[in-house]
Structure formats: structure tokens, C-alpha cells
Structure 1
Amino acid sequence: MANVKNPNRISKNRQAARAAKARKANLKRCNPANQDKVAKADRTRGARPGLLPTSGPRKAISKKKARKLEKKMGYELKRRMEAEGEAVMK
């Protein structure tokens, strides 16, 4: 037999612990620092949600690369229009 007043319900200590755990989880989930998806290690190095990295897949494209991509997209658009029969390529 359990050595408590009522074995069919949670003790006040366990109730308080469960509430504290839930409160802590909610605070963690609602923290704006967690919503911007910047890793903690990156935050310690100074990364912020508005700043893009200087390397990696999310870095800003250089102006030269942007011009080249713009040309490629233009050519692709012309090819697509020609395939549909709207314009003739020279």
C-alpha cells in the first residue's frame, strides 16, 4: 500500500513540478531568440536575424554573379516563349 493520503492523485510537489516544467517549456518556445532560427553558437559570434552570413548557402550573391544569373534567366525565358510559339529567337 502506498504511503500517501490519496494514492489516486498527484501530490502537490509533483503538481508544482509539472506546472513549472510546462511553464519553462512555454517560455522557451515563445522566446523571440528561438523564433528567428539563429543557432545559439551563431548568436555568440554576433549573428542576428536581419544579417545574412558572408559564407554558406544563405550568403548574399555577388553583383557579378547576379548579372550572370539575370542573363541566364533571360535566356531561359526566351527559350520558354519560343517553345510556346510566342517569340522567335534571333
Structure 2
Amino acid sequence: MPSVKNPNAPSKNRLAARAAKQRKSRQQASKMGQLARQGGAVAKADARRGARPGLLPTSGPRAAISKKKQRKLEKAMAHALRRKAEKEGAGSGGGTSVVEMTDAPAEKAKQKQENKGEAEVEMDIE
């Protein structure tokens, strides 16, 4: 019977593909950093898509977002912030909320005294 390696581990092909993908992303990040240091330089891939110094490409991941899409994103972000504020209890239409600080150790001490008193009463009854 031929020896088979662990079926739960990734194959050599998967490991090689993962390493190649990470290497490529590191190279791209390094190139973007170099271009930023150079000042108005544009990546070759972006230049193929119409990018020039000061202009974003017309397609791809670095393309400019349309004004309509920008408005939609701003609305969505504002709505998310509003929901977050309401969840935290600082709703915009509810007015100011008052929070009272309680002295936790004093409350616990009172409860302990009451519990001791109840225990003594029970002992007296029996």
C-alpha cells in the first residue's frame, strides 16, 4: 500500500500557490511604496488603464469611485454611525441621557448585612 500523507494538511501545490500569492502582494506593495516616494510616478498597470500623475485609472481596484457611488457610500456610512450611536444609547433625537453613579461596595455591604440578619432570624425561629 503506498504511503499517503496527512489528508488534513494542505497539498504542496496549495502551499506553493499561497507562497506565490504572498510574494506577489509583497512585491506590489513595495512597488506602490517606491512610486509614492518618487512623487507623481504611476504604476505600469494603472498607466495601462488611463492613469496619469494626478489622475486615477478608469478601471481596476484603484479606479476613482463615481459621484453617485460616493453619495451612496456616504449615506450608508452616516446611517451606520447613526445606528451605532443609538445602540450606545446616545440617540440624536432622544435628548440627553442621565446616568447615575452608584456606590457598588456600599450596596454589597448592605446586602451582606441583610443576609446575616435574615440568617440570624431563621436560627432564632428554629
Report the TM range for the smaller structure's normalisation.
Answer: 0.3 to 0.5
Greater gyration radius: 2
Flag the structure with more relative contact order, 1 or 2, with Cα contacts below 8 A and sequence separation at least 6: 1
Q: TM-score, normalised by structure 1?
A: 0.47
| Higher normalized helix content (fraction of residues) | 2
